[in-house]
Amino acid sequence: MPEGYLTTHVLDTARGVPAQGVAITLFRLGRGSKGGGPEKIAEAVTNADGRTDAPILPKGQFAPGIYELVFFAGAYLRRTGQAGADPLFLDAVPIRFGMAEADSHYHVPLLLSPYGYSTYRGS
């Protein structure tokens, strides 16, 4: 059984703090029952450290493949007074990535501000 797992966190780079209360959904792409469409496999909300309480894709559920994390940043930006006018510049932020190594820890963070974001493969 693969020993790999996936973690994530969100940092509010405009305020310099962890982003608490950001809803996140994880999809596996290309393996769904409807002709290879996205398959929702996990949902989580960030805690006071901007992290999920457990890996969003834990050992035992991990499989190499193409995935997409969707960070629902708009609600967080509204709640923290950073949203600006509607429609928001950033609302749902999708990050699509591949995981090839079955026994690796993948960490995909979101560095967020109201008008930009970045990500990287963390550790």
CATH number at residue 10: 2.60.40.180
The pLDDT of residue 123 is 87
Q: What is the pLDDT of residues 49-97, one digit of tens each?
A: 999 999 999 999 999 999 999 999 999 999 999 988 899 999 999 999 9
Q: What is the pLDDT of residues 9-25, one digit of tens each?
A: 999 999 999 999 999 99
Structural domain total, the chain: 1
120 belongs to a structural domain? no
121 belongs to a structural domain? no
DSSP 51-107: B-SS-SB-TTT--SEEEEEEEEHHHHHHHTT---SSSPS-SEEEEEEEE--TT-EEE
Q: Does the pLDDT of residue 36 top 70, yes or no?
A: no
- Where in the sequence is the domain holding 29, given as residue range(s)? 5-112
